[in-house]
Amino acid sequence: MKPANLLFILSDQHTRDMSGCYGHPVVKTPNIDRLARRGTRFTSAYTNCPICVPARASMATGRYVHQIGNWDNAFPYDGSVPSWSHRLKEQGYRVDSIGKLHFRDPNDDNGFTEEVDPLHVVAGVGDILGCIRRSPPFRNKRVGIDNAGPGDSTYLRYDVSNADNAIKWLNEHRNDDKPWCLFLSFVCPHPPYISPPDLFDLYPLEELSLPSQWEEGQWPTHRALDYFRRFFHFDRPFGESEIRRLTAAYYGVCTHLDNQMGRVLEALASARLEETTRIIYTSDHGESLGARGLFGKFTMYEEAASVPLVR
């Protein structure tokens, strides 16, 4: 039977190499790996912009950031430029979203028939500091980093809820006559670097490899990178134990993401929708995770710009 439906799964800040199917020797992602075995694994996929809001606007519209003006986290997508979801709706598809969108407002016409528990920018304005072009004030803490390790977070719970909602949605629409697209957007493994304790323990700290050029004396020197480190409080060197703890937490959150994807894929199979549904998995951008003394995204280095793409 020819596939008519589409399950589009997006994660946040999952760099390409942090999956088993892309050759990582440690990170456990059995469900992403299974998708790759069944389909096509792209090895040269990159984000159009390694920042959440513009990356998602660019992905929605299929256009470069400079063409649509969504330059940074202060300029979210507002539906004014037609998106792929608008076009699918025009072709008669039901197009629903579940989870993080990071657009401007749920009252905008973002192209979806329904938005289930969407995460949009705060108050429709996003990160105001992002639009300041000269000498913005530095951040006052290392957001998502200082408390890295095992624990619980609203993001972990949000993605469990997103998977729950997707499972419910698939069961409700299993017998639809009309073709559908479900855009399922997880927030993990975006910081905070807090992993479920059992998944954190999967990655013994002493066995983890350290990122390239993580020591201060190895950092590449460039005015933009130096400013970036100062702005986000990364200029204070991280100790080896801190790096290992951050790494284990990020790996654990990657596995948490994979677990939620696995639950959804199992529900898809149980609903007997596998033969009629195409599946795409990708991420909005990557994560530096200590390489060159950097964390997060914001640069065009491989770790921040490369993304997984499986279909």
Query: Which residue would you say has higher pLDDT here, 210 or 71?
Result: 210
| In the predicted structure, residue 159 carries a pLDDT above the cut 60 | yes
pLDDT digits (tens, 9 = 90+) for 211-227: 999 998 999 989 999 98
What is the model's pLDDT at position 127? 64
Position 133 confidence tier, pLDDT thresholds 50, 70, 90: low
Cα gap 254→261, rounded to integer Å: 11
The span from the CA of 201 to the CA of 114, in Å, is: 38
Q: What is the pLDDT of residue 137?
A: 56
Residue among 272, 211, 219 at smallest CA distance from 246 = 211
| 232 pLDDT tier (thresholds 50, 70, 90) | confident
Closest Cα partner for 266 from 184, 199, 170?
170
What's phi and psi for 8, nearest 5 deg? Answer: -105, 110
How far is the CA of 149 from the CAs of 29, 52, 198, in angstroms? Answer: 19, 23, 11
Q: How far is CA 117 from the centre of its chain?
A: 17
In this predicted structure, what is the pLDDT of residue 124?
Answer: 66
CATH assignment of 5-310, given 3.30.470.30, 2.60.120.260, 3.40.720.10, 3.40.50.1220?
3.40.720.10
First-residue to last-residue Cα distance in the chain: 18
Maximum average pLDDT range among 75-84, 120-129, 274-283: 274-283
- Average pLDDT over every residue of 230-245: 87
Identify whether the C-beta of residue 188 lies closer than 8 Å to the C-beta of residue 257: yes
Is the per-residue pLDDT at 75 higher than 60? yes
Residue 103 to residue 31: CA distance in whole angstroms? 28
Residue 136 clears pLDDT 60, i.e. is over it: no
What residue ranges do the domains of the chain occupy?
5-310
The first and second tokens of residue 220, run together, are 């590449």
Q: How far apart are CA 59 and CA 180, in angstroms?
A: 19
**pLDDT tens, residue by residue, 16-62:** 999 999 999 999 999 999 999 999 999 999 999 999 999 999 999 99
Lowest mean pLDDT among 43-52, 122-131, 267-276, 279-288: 122-131
Which residues have CB under 8 Å from 167's CB, separation 6+? 263, 264, 267
- Nearest of 136, 149, 129, 234 to residue 191 by alpha carbon: 149
pLDDT band at 91 (very low <50, low <70, confident <90, very high): very high
Closest CA to 51 of 309, 307, 303, 296: 296
